[in-house]
C-alpha cells in the first residue's frame, strides 16, 4: 500500500513567510504530509510551531541536527522521506549537506547557499550521495512558463535575439531593517544573506527564469548595483546587461525600491520570427507575438496547450491558479520523482522538470559575478563559475 511522502521541515516557524508557503505548496496536492520539523533555532519556538501544525510532540525537534539523527533512527515506514529547508541563506548549506549524507532527499529554498564555494561543495555532496535535490526557484513552476520554454525549444520563435527580464519590488523603499521587520532584517544582513541583497533575493530568480525559459546561458555581464536607502548594507537595486552564448543580448533589472510595485516579475523574449511575454500578475496567460499575424493569447487549462502545461495545471481554463500552485508544482514533481525512484520506476522527464543543483551553482555564480562587475571599471566581464 502506497502512503503519502513524509516531509520534515527545517526553519519556517511561526511568523515566517516562506516556510508557510512551502507547507501550502507541499500539502495541497495530497501527495505529501508534514511529519516532523525543527522550525526555529529557538527550541521553545520550534515546539510551539510544531504544535500549531498538529505534529506529534516527539517529532518536533530543537535543532535540525537532532531531527536528522532521530528521524534516521526511526523505522523506514515512519521516518521522514525528505527535508524542506526554509531558513535564511546562511543556514542552507549545512542542513542540506547533513540531510543528504544521512540519506534524505532535500528541497532547499533559494539562493542555494551563502556563497559560490558552498554551492560547489554542495554539488559534490549531491553527486556523492545521489540524493534528489530541488531548489525552489518558484517561477519555473508556472505552467505557462513551461509552455514558453517548450515553444522556444521547438524553435517557434526562431533564433533568439533579445531577452528582457524585470523584477520590480517596492517593499524595501524605506529602512525597514531599522524597524525590526524580520524579512527585511536578515535579507539586508551580509552575514545571513551573503554578498548581495536585491540581486541575491530576487535577481537570482530573474536570472534563473531567463536561462530556464530561453535554454541559453549568460556568458558576459555588465552590472550596475545600487543602494538607495541610507544605512542599508547591501544593494537594493540593480541593472545588468547580458550577453548570451548564442549571440543574443538582454537586460535584467531587479529592484526593491520601486515604490508601489509588488512582485510582478515579467519576461519578454524575442526571436527572428516572433516574441513572447509573460508576467506573474497574469500568470495563466502567455502572449505570443508574431511578425505578420495577430498576437495570440495562450491560456493555462485549455485544450490547445502542451501536455507539460496540463501536467502542471489543476483546474480548467478560467479558474485562475497562482503563486502557490506554481510552488506546489515543484513539490509535486519532486514527489513524483522520489516516489518513482523509491519504487524503481521510470522517472518521467516532465517530473524532473524542477530546478536542481546546477541551477544553484549558476545562481550563486550570478551573485558573485554581478557584484564583481558592479565594482569593476571594465565594461564586460565573463560569467565565471
- Count of other CB atoms within 10 angstroms of residue 128: 10
Beta-sheet strand order (sheet of 133-135): 32-38, 5-10, 82-85, 105-108, 133-135
Of 101 and 315, nearer to a copy of itself (C-beta) is 315
- CA torsion 110→116→117→120, rounded to 10°? 70
Q: Which of residues 197-256 bind a copy of itself (CB under 8 A)?
A: 222, 224, 226, 228, 237, 239, 241, 249-251, 253, 255
Within 147-206, which residues bind a copy of itself (CB under 8 A)?
A: 157-158, 161-162, 164, 166, 168-171, 173-174
Stretch that binds a copy of itself, among 103-111, 192-200, 287-295, 348-356 (CB under 8 A): 287-295
Stretch that binds a copy of itself, among 7-15, 24-32, 67-75, 100-108 (CB under 8 A): 24-32
Q: What is the DSSP letter of 109?
A: P
Nearer to a copy of itself, 34 or 83 (CB): 34
Part of the chain binding a copy of itself (CB under 8 A), chosen from 20-28, 93-101, 105-113, 333-341: 20-28
- From the list 196-204, 211-219, 332-340, 371-379, the region that binds a copy of itself by CB under 8 A is 371-379
284 vs 92: CA distance, rounded Å: 31
* Phi, psi dihedrals of residue 210, rounded to the nearest 5°: -60, -50
Query: Which whole-number Å values give the CA distances from 215 to 50, 133, 149, 308, in the listed order?
Result: 41, 21, 7, 16
Member of 45, 48, 185, 282 binding a copy of itself (CB under 8 A): 282
Among 58, 76, 293, 307, binds a copy of itself (CB under 8 A): 293
Is 99 or 254 the residue whose CB approaches a copy of itself more closely? 254
Restricting to residues 294-323, name those near a copy of itself by CB under 8 A.
294-299, 301-304, 314-323
Are the C-beta atoms of residues 86 and 18 closer than 8 Å to each other? Answer: yes
CB closer to a copy of itself out of 89 and 255 = 255
9 vs 361, which CB is nearer to a copy of itself?
9
Among the listed ranges 40-48, 71-79, 90-98, 270-278, the one in contact with a copy of itself (CB under 8 A) is: 270-278
Residues touching a copy of itself, count (CB under 8 A): 96
Neighbouring CB atoms inside 10 A of 372's CB total 15
Beta bridge pairs of residue 382: 220
CA–CA gap between residue 155 and residue 206 (Å, rounded): 22
CB 84 within 8 A of CB 105: no
Least distance CB 228 / a copy of itself (angstroms): 5
- Contacts with a copy of itself in 50-89 (CB under 8 A)? 51, 53-54, 57
Report the alpha-carbon distance of residue 80 to residue 342 in Å, rounded.
13
CA distances from 24 to 11, 34, 90, 311 (A): 15, 10, 24, 19
Amino acid at each position: 500500500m502506497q502512503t503519502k511522502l513524509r516531509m520534515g521541515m527545517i526553519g519556517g516557524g511561526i511568523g515566517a513567510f516562506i516556510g508557510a508557503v512551502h507547507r501550502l505548496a507541499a500539502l495541497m496536492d495530497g501527495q505529501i504530509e508534514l511529519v516532523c520539523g525543527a522550525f526555529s533555532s529557538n527550541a521553545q519556538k520550534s515546539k510551539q510551531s510544531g504544535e500549531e501544525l498538529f505534529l506529534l510532540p516527539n517529532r518536533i525537534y530543537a535543532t535540525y541536527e537532532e531531527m536528522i539523527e532521530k528521524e534516521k533512527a526511526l523505522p523506514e515506514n515512519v521516518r521522514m522521506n525528505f527535508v524542506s529547508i526554509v531558513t535564511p541563506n546562511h543556514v542552507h548549506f549545512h542542513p542540506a549537506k547533513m540531510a543528504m549524507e544521512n540519506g534524505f532527499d532535500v528541497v532547499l529554498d533559494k539562493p542555494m547557499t551563502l556563497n559560490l564555494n558552498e554551492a560547489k561543495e554542495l554539488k559534490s555532496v549531491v553527486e556523492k550521495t545521489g540524493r534528489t535535490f530541488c531548489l525552489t526557484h518558484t517561477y519555473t513552476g508556472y505552467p505557462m512558463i513551461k509552455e514558453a520554454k517548450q515553444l522556444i525549444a521547438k524553435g517557434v520563435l526562431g533564433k533568439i535575439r533579445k531577452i528582457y527580464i524585470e523584477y520590480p519590488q517596492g517593499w524595501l523603499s524605506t529602512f525597514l531593517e531599522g524597524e525590526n521587520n524580520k524579512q527585511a532584517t536578515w535579507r539586508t544582513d551580509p552575514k545571513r544573506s551573503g554578498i548581495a541583497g536585491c540581486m541575491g533575493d530576487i535577481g537570482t530568480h530573474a536570472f534563473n527564469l531567463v536561462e530556464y525559459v530561453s535554454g541559453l546561458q549568460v556568458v558576459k555581464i555588465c552590472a550596475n548595483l545600487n543602494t538607495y536607502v541610507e544605512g542599508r548594507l547591501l544593494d537594493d537595486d540593480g541593472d545588468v546587461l547580458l550577453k548570451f552564448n548564442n549571440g543574443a543580448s538582454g537586460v535584467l533589472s531587479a529592484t526593491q525600491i520601486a515604490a508601489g510595485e509588488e512582485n510582478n516579475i515579467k519576461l519578454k523574449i524575442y526571436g527572428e520570427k516572433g516574441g513572447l511575454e509573460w508576467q506573474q500578475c497574469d500568470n495563466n496567460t502567455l502572449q505570443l507575438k508574431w511578425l505578420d499575424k495577430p498576437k495570440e493569447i495562450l491560456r493555462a487549462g485549455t485544450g490547445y496547450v502542451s501536455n507539460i502545461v496540463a501536467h502542471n495545471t489543476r483546474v480548467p481554463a478560467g479558474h485562475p491558479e497562482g503563486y502557490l500552485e506554481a510552488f506546489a508544482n515543484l513539490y509535486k514533481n519532486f514527489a513524483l520523482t522520489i516516489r518513482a525512484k523509491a519504487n524503481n520506476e521510470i522517472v518521467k522527464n516532465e517530473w524532473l522538470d524542477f530546478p536542481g543543483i546546477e541551477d544553484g551553482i549558476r545562481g550563486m555564480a550570478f551573485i558573485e559575478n554581478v557584484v564583481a562587475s558592479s565594482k569593476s571599471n571594465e565594461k564586460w566581464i565573463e560569467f565565471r563559475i
